[in-house]
C-alpha cells in the first residue's frame, strides 16, 4: 500500500458532531462467486445491460435499507463504479454486469467523476441477530446455492474449524460475527512472501500455516469458512474509506 491518492468521495451522510467526520463506508468495486483454491473468478458469460444516466439497473427493495448519495472523483483510471452498499444508479451512462437477475458483479462507466445512489443497511445488531436461518420452512433461494459451493481443495480441518467457530451461534448473523471475530486475531501484514506454488488452498494456508496477511487472505478465508458453515457468501473487492479531510469535507 502507498500514499497515492486514488479518489475523493463526498457523501450525503450528516456530520455526527461539529468536530467529527460523518459515518464512513467501504466502497465496493466488483464481486466474485467461484473459488478454485487459489483465487476468485466469475462465470465466463455475464448478463450485461447498458443504462442511461440515473436509470436504476435493478429494482432493489428498500426494506431494512436507507438511501445514500456519493459523489466520486477518481484520480486513477478504473472503469469500475465504486459505491457503498448496494448501488442503484449512476449519474452518467453506465453498464451493469450480473450473474443472474439482481445479482450484481459490477457497474462500469467511462467516467472519472460521477454521483452514485446506493442503499445501505439500516439494521441494528439486535435486529440482525433476530433474523432467522434458512431451513425447510424458509428455504434458501435456489439461485443462491452457488454461494455455498466449495472446491475439493478445501480441507477437512478448514471445514472443522468452521463448525467449531459457529457451533454456539443461533442465527446467521451470529455465525458470521463469530468467524469475523476469529479472523481478527490474525496479524495484518503486508510484508508476506508470495504464495508458494505447492499451496493448493489459500484459505487453509492462511488459517493454519501463514496466520498473517492482508485483505485478500482475510476475505477469502471468511467466505470459505462462511460457506462451510452453511452461510452463502461471495468475495468483494474495493476500497476502505480512507482518511477524512475536514477542510474540503470529503474522504
Annotate 103-161 with three-state secondary structure: EEEEEECCCCEEEEEEEEECCCHHHHHHCCCCCCCCCCCHHHHHHHCCCCCCCHHHHHH
- pTM score: 0.93
Q: Let me know how many helices (H) and strands (E) the chain has, helices first.
A: 5, 13
Give the C-alpha separation, 95 to 108, whole Å: 5
Backbone angles phi, psi at 56, to 5 degrees: -75, 135
**Residues in Cβ contact with 46 at an 8 Å cutoff, skipping those fewer than 6 apart:** 97, 98, 99, 105
Average pLDDT over residues 7-34: 92
pLDDT of residue 143: 92
Give the C-alpha separation, 231 to 225, whole Å: 9
Using N-to-C axis directions, what is the helix angle for 215-228 and 156-166, rounded to 10°? 80
**84 has a pLDDT exceeding 90:** yes
**1 has a pLDDT exceeding 80:** no
**Residue 214 cell numbers, joined:** 492482508
Dump pLDDT digits (tens) for 141-191. Answer: 999 999 999 999 999 999 999 999 999 898 999 999 999 999 999 999 999
List beta partners, residue 238: 28
Is 72 within 8 Å of 116 (Cβ atoms)?
Answer: yes
Amino acid at each position: 500500500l502507498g500514499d497515492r491518492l486514488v479518489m475523493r468521495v463526498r457523501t450525503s451522510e450528516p456530520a455526527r458532531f461539529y468536530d467529527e467526520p460523518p459515518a464512513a463506508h467501504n466502497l465496493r468495486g466488483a464481486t466474485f462467486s467461484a473459488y478454485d483454491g487459489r483465487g476468485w473468478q466469475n462465470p465466463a458469460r455475464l448478463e450485461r445491460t447498458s443504462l442511461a444516466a440515473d436509470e436504476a439497473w435493478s429494482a432493489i427493495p428498500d426494506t431494512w435499507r436507507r438511501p445514500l448519495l456519493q459523489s466520486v472523483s477518481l484520480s486513477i483510471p478504473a472503469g469500475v463504479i465504486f459505491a457503498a452498499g448496494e448501488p442503484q444508479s449512476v449519474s452518467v451512462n453506465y453498464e451493469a454486469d450480473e450473474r443472474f437477475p439482481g445479482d450484481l458483479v459490477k457497474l462500469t462507466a467511462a467516467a472519472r467523476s460521477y454521483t452514485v445512489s446506493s442503499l445501505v443497511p439500516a439494521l441494528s445488531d439486535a435486529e440482525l441477530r433476530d433474523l432467522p436461518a434458512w431451513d425447510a420452512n424458509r428455504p434458501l433461494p435456489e439461485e443462491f446455492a452457488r454461494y455455498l459451493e466449495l472446491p475439493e481443495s478445501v480441507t477437512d480441518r478448514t471445514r472443522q474449524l468452521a463448525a467449531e467457530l459457529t457451533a454456539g451461534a443461533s442465527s446467521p448473523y451470529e455465525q458470521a460475527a463469530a468467524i469475523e471475530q476469529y479472523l481478527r486475531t490474525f496479524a495484518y501484514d503486508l510484508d508476506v512472501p508470495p504464495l508458494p506454488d505447492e499451496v493448493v488452498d489459500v484459505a487453509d494456508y492462511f488459517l493454519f500455516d501463514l496466520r498473517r496477511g492482508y485483505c485478500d487472505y482475510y476475505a477469502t478465508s471468511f467466505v470459505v469458512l462462511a460457506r462451510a458453515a452453511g452461510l452463502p457468501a461471495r468475495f468483494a473487492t474495493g476500497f476502505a474509506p480512507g482518511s477524512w479531510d475536514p477542510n474540503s469535507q470529503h474522504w
